Structure 1
């Protein structure tokens, strides 16, 4: 797997999450930038900007990448909607020309010219759900910090990384625990058996708690096993990725899960 250059530090986390997902899909496809350009109708230089976090890809390019990489186009387009809002906010305050998204270089007429109203509505609804998940996750992190000075209190997960916001914000769930066992050559901690859920900063739920337990087993402290993906968890993930020779981006995907469960 080719090593990616580090993304700009000033890049908004919502844009970063989209770019990281696109990078993973490109790695999964095994295509070069030239081959990717031929299949999507966007030039290699355009994809170089998109995957480097220097330009926001148009939705048609995102959908094309989703189909090539075998991902859900609606889910990926929802991430694009959230990233586009963050990108517009950054452009409002930015003064550098680089902050303005460049027009894509079209190589062929194969790319779609516009999305249908029905699909746009579905994307908007999913994007709203994603934004709500991020907002509730931030609120959970704030409550934990207020109730525990060292940030390691066990908190009840209010939002799963793969589900929408809970029906009742007042429900109580017991703290997470680590019940490590090895099954068929893989480690499990009793919170989730996922192998490929993508987790990053702001996510919360049993999948995050599972990762935190496995990070502890690997010798990297994520802070408390609270089911909240915060800075300490991200730092621990980067440690595991660096040791395993993976892309060091602090985001848990299939390759990082394999390293944690191995």
Structure 2
């Protein structure tokens, strides 16, 4: 399995969550970048830029990657939408108002200096300028936001105080960050939250609560009544009713993880590995389509 490059430091939290899941999905499929290029509408170099955070990944690319890897794309699309909204809230580069006069410490440049600077900028243009601009926009978004706010505070006739402007901007950033954190909490394998009691996550699932297992056979397959998925990928720190369903089915098959709380922890992964070994599956502890198929038999 290839070792991924470190994502750029300026990558936003929501964008990082999306890329972590896309990388994991690609690794689990054992497909190379060249193989992805042959099965999708995007070239190998495009996939390299997308998965390494050099350019934002398009929505269509997210859907095609999920299709090629044989998984349901809904959760990936949710992560994409959160990242897209965060990008949309970031101020565009160069929109901050320019000061009407140069600072006192600076002297106006002569026509010869302007011409020389223009020639230097022309020589610096490269075919990869679009990629560099995408990279620069992320780095400069914070400074652009500060400049725009400061400029707005000194416009003639401005009636809104600077403090209110900054407060509104900070609130918008906090809301976007919080939405991404709540949506992708189940996949964040870098800083799992402590279990301090039942916490509402969404769609009725409460993290930290134990659920009952009532496994029965319906339409020719076993079901515990928490989820009917047969494709969802589950790994360490996945959460939700899909995990509860898998934990109940593992117990029904004689490989109980001991807990039925919807958190895919080491005990659940260990039970999954034992089940995979007994049924001659790939022993990686990751519940995917093949393992789901055997669990529901």
Counterpart pick for 2:256 among 213, 217, 221: 221
2:254 & 2:205 partners in 1: Cα distance? 32
Residues 21-48 of structure 1: CA distance to partner in whole angstroms, max 9, x if unpaired?
2346787xxx934514x7312249949x
Contact 1:237 1:250 in 2 (8 A): yes
Residues 221-245 of structure 1: CA distance to partner in whole angstroms, max 9, x if unpaired?
3122222211110122233344445
Q: Hey, what does 1:97 align to over in structure 2?
A: none
Q: Hey, what does 1:159 align to over in structure 2?
A: 201
Aligned length: 193
Shift of residue 127, structure 1, vs aligned partner: 2.8
Structure 2 length-normalised TM: 0.46
Structure 1 length-normalised TM: 0.51
Residues 153-212 of structure 1: CA distance to partner in whole angstroms, max 9, x if unpaired?
xxx57435xx5987xx9xx96x42221211222111233323333333223333222111
Secondary structure at the aligned position of 2:201 is classed as: coil
Q: Hey, what does 1:102 align to over in structure 2?
A: none
Contact 1:188 1:210 in 2 (8 A): yes
Contact 1:241 1:256 in 2 (8 A): yes
Change (3 A) 1:198 1:235: same
Contact 1:25 1:69 in 2 (8 A): no
Counterpart pick for 2:80 among 77, 81, 87: 77
Is 1:40 aligned with 2:37? no
Q: Hey, what does 2:104 align to over in structure 1?
A: none
Secondary structure at the aligned position of 1:32 is classed as: helix
Secondary structure at the aligned position of 1:159 is classed as: strand
Counterpart pick for 1:129 among 158, 170, 182: 182
Change (3 A) 1:33 1:41: closer
Is 1:60 aligned with 2:102? no
Contact 1:192 1:210 in 2 (8 A): yes
Which structure 1 segments of 5+ residues have no match? 9-13, 82-105, 145-155
Secondary structure at the aligned position of 2:225 is classed as: coil
Counterpart pick for 2:230 among 186, 189, 195: 195
2:279 & 2:249 partners in 1: Cα distance? 14
Change (3 A) 1:80 1:199: farther
Question: Which structure would you say has the larger Rg?
Answer: 2
1:234 & 1:79 partners in 2: Cα distance? 29
1:222 & 1:126 partners in 2: Cα distance? 31
Contact 2:205 2:240 in 1 (8 A): no
Secondary structure at the aligned position of 1:39 is classed as: coil
Between stretches 239-248 and 197-206, larger displacement belongs to 239-248
Q: Hey, what does 2:120 align to over in structure 1?
A: none
